[in-house]
Amino acid sequence: MTGTTSAAEAGQGHYVLGETLRPMLTNAMGSAVEIFDTKGPADAGPPLHTHAWEEIYVVLEGELDVTVAGTTTRLKPGGYAHVPANTPHGYRNVTQAHFLTIVTKGNAAKFFKQVAAEVEMSPPDIPGILRVGASHGITFLP
């Protein structure tokens, strides 16, 4: 297998629920992990949900309130959260935020790409997000 390198040039991102997620490394590139450069304004972010892959958020700038299994923690630059597979989680940007979203092999990149291409985000088409999420093994919680 050949490794992957990048000069971190601005690439195409996926606009989902108020945030832009720019794929840096994906399963389609042959990687077992996916990394997304994630940026969004205050109050953006996904509601509580579950999926079969692990997820890690590493805050570079700004602040996030991350909820994992019912406990909410405010993360500042340098902070991170690890979400085990199938664990209820979500987050809300407290301020404008820039962070890395890192996931294990699953359907994250496919979900972000499809939902950004097919679902209206302004305002968000919630039934559309739920439909696309379900097709990728994501369950949104009440």
CATH of the domain at 118: 2.60.120.10
Residue 117 lies in a domain: yes
Residue 119 lies in a domain: yes
Report the side by side order of strands in the sheet with 49-50: 71-75, 64-68, 89-93, 49-50, 139-140
CA distance 16 to 115: 7
Eight-class DSSP state of 135: H
**pLDDT attached to residue 2:** 66
User: Smallest Cα–Cα separation from 17: which of 40, 37, 48?
Assistant: 40
The residues with which 90 forms a beta bridge, in sequence order, are 67
* pLDDT exceeds cutoff 70 at 1: no
**pLDDT attached to residue 142:** 87
pLDDT digits (tens, 9 = 90+) for 72-126: 999 999 999 999 999 999 999 999 999 999 999 989 999 999 999 999 999 999 9
Residue 4 lies in a domain: no
Strands 14-16 and 80-83, sheet pairing: unpaired
Average pLDDT for residues 13-34, to the nearest whole number?
Answer: 94
**pLDDT attached to residue 4:** 66
The residues with which 20 forms a beta bridge, in sequence order, are 15, 39
Q: Positive or negative CA dihedral for 39, 142, 103, 34?
A: negative
Give the global pTM.
0.91
Q: List Cα–Cα distances, 40 to 14, 17, 76, 98, 111, in angstroms.
A: 12, 9, 15, 7, 18
pLDDT higher for 56 or 11? 56
Q: How many domains does the chain have?
A: 1
Neighbours of 6 (CB within 10 A): 8
* pLDDT exceeds cutoff 90 at 26: yes
Residue 102 lies in a domain: yes
pLDDT digits (tens, 9 = 90+) for 40-58: 999 999 999 999 999 999 9
Average pLDDT for residues 117-136, to the nearest whole number?
Answer: 95
**pLDDT attached to residue 7:** 56
Domain of 87? Answer: 14-137
